């Protein structure tokens, strides 16, 4: 009588073939995921820029509704926060645009004593220049200047 031998595992060729396929897949997949931190910082900075524009527009609407469009003034946000205004837009200070944003988790705001005043907000943990600068309007009928610097993200 003949005895039958059953295969008990994979052959060496099959194992090498699987390892080669996994290596090829890794060679294509790894470069796509290596630079995700830079893309995440850029997306975060872009979201911050949008938040600055929205906060500026919303507080400008409140200033128009309450007649606070002079050279200086204040408006009160929903949560009771007082926001310093310049020409109907948030001032470029911690008590202006930074107060309008109210929650800067993940960002560091630095006031700049330039003319007109401005605030530079950096994405925390980003190397180099990954910032958005908000510059208050310098005259009536001007709008704030919001400038991203995303080169260092």
What is the spatial order of strands in the sheet that 89-90 belongs to? Answer: 73-76, 82-86, 89-90
What is the Cα–Cα distance from 89 to 136, expressed in whole angstroms?
7
pTM of the model: 0.75
Task: Please report which residue ranges of the chain form alpha helices under DSSP H.
Answer: 12-34, 36-66, 97-101
Quick: pLDDT tens for 72-126: 999 988 778 899 999 999 999 989 999 888 877 778 888 888 888 999 998 887 7
pLDDT at 137 > cutoff 80: yes
The confidence score (pLDDT) of residue 1 equals 61
What is the Cα–Cα distance from 6 to 17, expressed in whole angstroms?
22
What is the Cα–Cα distance from 127 to 114, expressed in whole angstroms?
24
Burial of 153 (0-12, 13-18, 19+ CB in 10 A): buried
């Amino acid at each position: 009588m003949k005895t039958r031998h059953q295969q008990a595992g994979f052959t060496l060729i099959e194992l090498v073939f699987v390892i080669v396929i996994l290596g090829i897949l890794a060679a294509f997949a790894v470069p796509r995921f290596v630079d995700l931190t830079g893309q995440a910082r850029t997306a975060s900075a872009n979201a911050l820029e949008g938040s600055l524009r929205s906060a500026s527009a919303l507080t400008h609407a409140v200033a128009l509704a309450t007649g606070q469009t002079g050279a200086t003034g204040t408006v009160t946000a929903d949560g009771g926060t007082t926001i310093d205004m310049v020409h109907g837009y948030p001032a470029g200070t911690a008590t202006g645009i930074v107060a309008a944003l109210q929650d800067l988790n993940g960002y560091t705001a630095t006031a700049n004593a330039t003319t007109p005043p401005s605030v530079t907000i950096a994405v925390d943990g980003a190397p180099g220049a990954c910032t958005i600068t908000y510059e208050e309007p310098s005259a009536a009928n001007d709008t704030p200047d919001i400038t991203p610097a995303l080169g260092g993200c």
